A and B are shown apart, each in its own frame.
Chain A
Amino acid sequence: MGWMNFLLRTRGRQRLDWTDVLSYTYLVVGLFTMFAPVVWLVMSSFKTEAAIGQFPPTFMPYTQKTVVVAGHDKPLPLFTVTLDDGRKREMAQVQRMGIMATMVDPAAPEERVQVNIRQREPVNTLKFAWGNYTELFGKFTFGTYLWNSVFITVVATVLTLLFNSMAAFALSKYKFRGQKGVFFLIIATLMIPPTIILVPVFLVINHVGLLNSLWGVILPAVATPTGVFLLRQYMLTIPDELIEAARMDHASEWRIYWRIVLPLSAPALAVLAIFSVMWRWNDFLLPLIVLSKNEFFTLQLALNSFQGELNTQWHYLLAMTVITLLPVTLVFAFLQRYITTGIAGAGVK
């Protein structure tokens, strides 16, 4: 009854309250609706190209079993055939003409039987198509896309942390005329949807000649109002006496920032780093307008470009989608404690 204990421990009661039932139901439904598509995606990414197109679809990655039959160079697909007399036999298909298929018993390759295709079922076996992943690295200059994505994410996150923390330090620890005004101006930009400033941003990037450069993606969003707000609120909790003590200790303002304020803001910086990694890795719109050359594509853009006009290689597309999901998933799995405290602390997401 270990799991029953687990379920009942919410209030230390002996039986489930109706609110417990409700919340568990909600959680299970939520888990299913949110997680099922992802699980389906992961399972499908292990299917062969043929298995993905199969109808009715299967959850697990099945492929048709093949056998090597004497007298045939290639392995033949295996079927379960229902014979005229009602007996079932496993036979390999040699060829198919219209609705009739020529089948052969792998044990007795000389004996050929003509079978209506309705009388046979493919014999499926569980098989993970790792090739979807391994082949990716050789194809589509996947390595370049991965590098572009990683470069943008890492560099942009480092710059975001640096610039936002400097702004937050000034806004939280210095008293100057217009301090509140500046802060509210920064916060006010939260109200402007990014899509609205997309065109001006594009024009600016174009004028400074950063089109088709990774820096064109990194620089425009380095200063974020969310980050400044989050860090400022945290830095307000650092006692002013520490900074005064440092000032009396001959520390320059830069040293106070670098040696005192920054290390003490580590929890808030961690939260912002997580957010920044997620934003940058998942970002699509900005890279889409800034990067038009194939060699600068990020993974997200590459995914989009895989969807060809006539033909989409779904097995590669799915495998690549899984890979793009991985970093964010890992970040979430290991740092979710910081994320929840960050959201609770800053009141933003």
Chain B
Amino acid sequence: MSTLELRALYKKFDQTSVIHGVDLQVAHGEFVVFVGPSGCGKSTLLRMIAGLDSPTDGDLLIDGQRVNDVGAAERGCAMVFQSYALYPHMTVYDNMAFGLENAKVPRAEIERKVHEAASLLRLDSLLQRRPTQLSGGQRQRVAIGRAIVRNPKIFLFDEPLSNLDAELRVSMRSELRELHQRLGATMVYVTHDQVEAMTMADKIVVLRAGLVEQVGTPVALYEKPCNTFVAGFIGSPRMNFVPAALVRACPALAAWVPSQAHQVGIRPEHWLACGPGEGLSMTVRHAEYMGAQRLVHAELQDQTRVELLVDGEHALSAGQTIHMRVAEHHLHVFDAQEQRIERAAV
């Protein structure tokens, strides 16, 4: 069992406060993703879990034990760094064996464990190479291998895929998922890419400016974002925010927009074509053809810009006026404080 718990964690660097009280519980075997824009403190949080930074205040518990004062090596975490941090003067084998050597593991067992991890990650033929002789994806796998051999309680990933090209990132994503299933270990993963978060996580933690905005499964975050920040951050292309007054003016949708609503969020993929007067009318600015779909940039009457994902077969030209509506369960309503208004409250 390896659980992780953060209790009212604070972190200050000199006078700058970076983390303002984070509470979080991670169950055994969970794949948790910290996501947020750069500077939101997600890497700092990870480094505190790893033991590389110490929290200014609050408690950090691994398996129910307070580990604030336990050294990085003794916490039983293994970290995969953004830059991989492979030792450039050592071979792949030595890179993976270094941690075990330090822990005074017998030589035969080191060899067994390294080969085991290497075959798991398909690194067998590369063991005698140096990191500089490897491709980005191979280096990535070595970095993961280095974490695996130590059989850690918790795996920590700090934006591990950000240095890979788009194609490799997609395949590494599923490889990491498979690895998680095979090892069944607790993993904490940091990324600024919401697609990575959505595709990999059991549980997503959305952070902004040192505060947790929302914790939930990818589905929960997508379907019920608790505020405009989460709503805008999760999902691609971004959610559109339309002034509530404009939506209320539309008879078909007015009933679903309560009086305290300030903004209405509509995801680009949820627009449906309709007849004049049945929905919102908008002017097409331009359309990007993407094959199966077409990303349309349009402008509402009050000059609010919106994006729509429509079927690729719809030929749309700039300047054309179109009419669009939304199924009511796809409307996200937010108040003036940018907080979600639940439909039950409507």
Residues of A within 8 A of B (CB): 239, 241-242, 244-252, 255, 259-260, 263-264
Residues on the B chain within 8 Å of A246, using CB: 87, 98
Residues on the B chain within 8 Å of A239, using CB: 83, 85
Residues on the A chain within 8 Å of B150, using CB: 249
Whether, in the assembled complex, B271 has its beta carbon less than 8 Å from a beta carbon of chain A, the answer is no
A239, B131: Cα distance in complex, Å: 15
Whether, in the assembled complex, B99 has its beta carbon less than 8 Å from a beta carbon of chain A, the answer is yes
A263, B98: Cα distance in complex, Å: 14
A250, B99: Cα distance in complex, Å: 6
Closest residue of chain A to B83 (Cβ to Cβ) is A241
Closest residue of chain A to B97 (Cβ to Cβ) is A249
| Pairs A–B under 8 Å by Cβ, sample size 5 | A241-B82, A245-B79, A247-B52, A248-B51, A249-B102
A248 adjacent to B98 (CB under 8 Å):
no
A255, B100: Cα distance in complex, Å: 13
Whether, in the assembled complex, B309 has its beta carbon less than 8 Å from a beta carbon of chain A, the answer is no
A263, B94: Cα distance in complex, Å: 14
B85 adjacent to A241 (CB under 8 Å):
yes
> B288 → chain A, closest Cβ, in Å?
38
A249 adjacent to B81 (CB under 8 Å):
no
A252 adjacent to B102 (CB under 8 Å):
yes
Whether, in the assembled complex, B72 has its beta carbon less than 8 Å from a beta carbon of chain A, the answer is yes
Whether, in the assembled complex, B314 has its beta carbon less than 8 Å from a beta carbon of chain A, the answer is no
Within 8 A of A (CB), among B53-102: 72-73, 77-79, 81-83, 85, 87-89, 98-99, 102
Residues on the B chain within 8 Å of A251, using CB: 73, 98-99, 102
Within 8 A of A (CB), among B141-159: 146, 150
> A165 → chain B, closest Cβ, in Å?
15
What number of B residues sit within 8 Å (CB to CB) of A?
A: 21
Residues on the A chain within 8 Å of B89, using CB: 263-264
Within 8 A of A (CB), among B23-60: 50-52
A231, B85: Cα distance in complex, Å: 21
Main secondary structure on B side of the interface with A: loop
Partner of A260, one of B50, B77, B79, B87: B87
Whether, in the assembled complex, B345 has its beta carbon less than 8 Å from a beta carbon of chain A, the answer is no
Whether, in the assembled complex, B336 has its beta carbon less than 8 Å from a beta carbon of chain A, the answer is no
Closest residue of chain B to A245 (Cβ to Cβ) is B85
A241, B159: Cα distance in complex, Å: 13
> B16 → chain A, closest Cβ, in Å?
16
Whether, in the assembled complex, B290 has its beta carbon less than 8 Å from a beta carbon of chain A, the answer is no
A239, B86: Cα distance in complex, Å: 10
Whether, in the assembled complex, B166 has its beta carbon less than 8 Å from a beta carbon of chain A, the answer is no
Whether, in the assembled complex, B183 has its beta carbon less than 8 Å from a beta carbon of chain A, the answer is no
Residues of B within 8 A of A (CB): 50-52, 72-73, 77-79, 81-83, 85, 87-89, 98-99, 102-103, 146, 150
Residues on the A chain within 8 Å of B87, using CB: 242, 245-246, 260
B81 adjacent to A250 (CB under 8 Å):
no
> B244 → chain A, closest Cβ, in Å?
47
A248 adjacent to B77 (CB under 8 Å):
yes
A244, B87: Cα distance in complex, Å: 11
Residues on the A chain within 8 Å of B102, using CB: 249-252, 255
B78 adjacent to A259 (CB under 8 Å):
no
A115, B82: Cα distance in complex, Å: 95
Closest residue of chain A to B143 (Cβ to Cβ) is A245
A241 adjacent to B81 (CB under 8 Å):
yes
Most buried by B among A248, A250, A251, A252: A248
B73 adjacent to A242 (CB under 8 Å):
no
Residues on the A chain within 8 Å of B81, using CB: 241, 244-245
Given contacts A239-B83, A241-B81, A255-B102, contact A248 B88 (CB under 8 A): no
Residues on the B chain within 8 Å of A241, using CB: 81-83, 85
B72 adjacent to A247 (CB under 8 Å):
yes
A249, B146: Cα distance in complex, Å: 9
A260, B99: Cα distance in complex, Å: 12
Q: Supply 5 further A-B pairs (C-beta < 8 A) apart from A245-B79, A248-B51.
A: A239-B85, A241-B81, A245-B87, A248-B73, A251-B99
> A129 → chain B, closest Cβ, in Å?
50
Closest residue of chain B to A244 (Cβ to Cβ) is B52
Partner of B85, one of A244, A252, A255: A244
Partner of B103, one of A242, A247, A250, A263: A250
A249 adjacent to B83 (CB under 8 Å):
no
A239, B82: Cα distance in complex, Å: 12
> B67 → chain A, closest Cβ, in Å?
14
A259, B95: Cα distance in complex, Å: 11
B103 adjacent to A248 (CB under 8 Å):
no
Most buried by A among B78, B102, B103, B150: B102
> B38 → chain A, closest Cβ, in Å?
17
A282, B72: Cα distance in complex, Å: 48
